Amino acid sequence: MKKEIKAKIHAVAKHLLKAKGFEILEENWSHASDHVDFIARDGDDLVFINMLITRKKEPFGDPRASFDRDAFERIVIAYLTDYDDSSDFTIRADALNFLILDDERTIIRHDSSIASVVSE
């Protein structure tokens, strides 16, 4: 995918998350070979968000089919190693699906809670 398109979609995703009340903590966060597009707070939830981008010739991407539980857990563990919050919170994996219809139109679907873990 072209870098310009991904950058535009990333900016739209950031705007959408902020409009929904998410507090974005990190963008394009990586650890070793694992990557997450956003790490954010949504109320009491710590949310790890990835973007799925498809073209109109394909159906919406299924976030559960592309969800890699092992990579999610590695990212969470790596991030929480330095995360300074002693309160209880839920850890959640979300996906933002972008279905690009043409140069002017995109449909966005936010799939929440693909996976979650409660911190104790």
pLDDT per residue, tens digit, the chain (120 aa), is: 578 888 889 999 999 999 999 999 999 999 999 999 999 999 989 999 998 887 766 665 555 556 778 888 899 999 998 877 667 788 899 989 888 888 788 888 888 876 555 555
Structure tokens at 60: 């919406």
pLDDT the model gives residue 98: 86
Q: Give the other-Cβ count within 10 Å of 45's Cβ.
A: 17
Please tell me whether the overall predicted TM-score, pTM, comes out greater than 0.95 for this model: no
Domains of the chain plus CATH, in order, are 3-118 (3.40.1350.10)
* Distance between CA atoms of residues 96 and 63, nearest Å: 9
